[in-house]
Amino acid sequence: MDVLGIDYTRFTDSDRNAVVQAFPRTGPFQRRYPARPSTTASNHKPETTFGNVKADVLADKDPGFHRGNFCGVIR
Protein backbone atom coordinates (compact mmCIF):
# COMPACT_ATOMS: atom_id res chain seq x y z
CA MET A 1 0.00 0.00 0.00
CA ASP A 2 2.83 2.41 0.75
CA VAL A 3 4.06 3.15 -2.77
CA LEU A 4 1.33 1.96 -5.12
CA GLY A 5 -1.69 2.43 -2.87
CA ILE A 6 -2.73 -1.21 -3.20
CA ASP A 7 -5.68 -1.95 -0.88
CA TYR A 8 -5.72 1.72 0.19
CA THR A 9 -9.46 1.65 0.88
CA ARG A 10 -9.16 -1.39 3.15
CA PHE A 11 -7.40 0.79 5.72
CA THR A 12 -9.14 3.39 7.84
CA ASP A 13 -8.08 7.02 7.91
CA SER A 14 -6.87 6.38 11.43
CA ASP A 15 -4.70 3.44 10.28
CA ARG A 16 -3.20 5.49 7.45
CA ASN A 17 -2.53 8.45 9.74
CA ALA A 18 -0.78 6.17 12.23
CA VAL A 19 1.51 4.87 9.47
CA VAL A 20 2.36 8.38 8.30
CA GLN A 21 3.08 9.43 11.89
CA ALA A 22 5.37 6.42 12.39
CA PHE A 23 7.05 6.76 8.97
CA PRO A 24 6.77 10.39 7.85
CA ARG A 25 7.57 11.35 4.28
CA THR A 26 9.92 14.25 3.90
CA GLY A 27 10.09 16.27 0.72
CA PRO A 28 8.55 15.29 -2.60
CA PHE A 29 8.39 11.52 -2.03
CA GLN A 30 6.31 10.70 -5.12
CA ARG A 31 8.66 12.64 -7.42
CA ARG A 32 11.88 11.32 -5.88
CA TYR A 33 10.97 7.67 -5.30
CA PRO A 34 11.29 6.28 -8.83
CA ALA A 35 14.66 7.96 -9.31
CA ARG A 36 16.51 6.11 -6.54
CA PRO A 37 17.52 3.35 -6.32
CA SER A 38 15.52 1.91 -9.21
CA THR A 39 17.05 3.94 -12.03
CA THR A 40 20.67 3.82 -11.02
CA ALA A 41 20.52 0.05 -10.62
CA SER A 42 19.59 -0.29 -14.30
CA ASN A 43 21.57 2.49 -15.91
CA HIS A 44 24.71 0.43 -16.47
CA LYS A 45 22.84 -2.66 -17.76
CA PRO A 46 19.63 -1.57 -19.48
CA GLU A 47 19.14 -5.00 -21.05
CA THR A 48 17.96 -6.21 -17.62
CA THR A 49 14.89 -3.98 -17.86
CA PHE A 50 13.24 -6.39 -20.31
CA GLY A 51 9.48 -6.07 -19.80
CA ASN A 52 6.76 -8.25 -18.44
CA VAL A 53 6.08 -10.99 -20.98
CA LYS A 54 2.29 -10.71 -20.70
CA ALA A 55 2.35 -6.95 -21.26
CA ASP A 56 4.71 -7.41 -24.20
CA VAL A 57 2.38 -9.95 -25.84
CA LEU A 58 -0.68 -7.74 -25.32
CA ALA A 59 1.16 -4.70 -26.70
CA ASP A 60 2.08 -6.74 -29.77
CA LYS A 61 -1.35 -8.33 -30.38
CA ASP A 62 -3.93 -5.86 -29.05
CA PRO A 63 -3.89 -2.39 -30.63
CA GLY A 64 -6.14 -1.06 -27.85
CA PHE A 65 -3.89 -2.23 -25.04
CA HIS A 66 -2.48 0.53 -22.84
CA ARG A 67 0.60 -0.47 -20.86
CA GLY A 68 0.63 0.73 -17.27
CA ASN A 69 3.50 2.82 -16.03
CA PHE A 70 4.97 2.27 -12.56
CA CYS A 71 6.09 5.89 -12.20
CA GLY A 72 2.70 7.15 -13.33
CA VAL A 73 0.93 5.00 -10.73
CA ILE A 74 3.12 6.41 -7.97
CA ARG A 75 2.58 9.99 -9.05
> What is the three-class DSSP state of 21?
helix
Q: What is the pLDDT of residues 15-59, one digit of tens each?
A: 989 988 888 877 776 666 666 555 566 667 666 666 777 888 888
Task: Give the Cα separation of 10 and 8 in Å (integer).
Answer: 5
Give the C-alpha distances (Å, rounded to integers) separating 25 from 2, 11, 66, 74.
11, 18, 31, 14
74 pLDDT higher than 70: yes
Whether the link from the prior residue into 63 is cis, omega within 30° of 0, is no
Helices (H) and strands (E) in the chain, counts: 5, 0
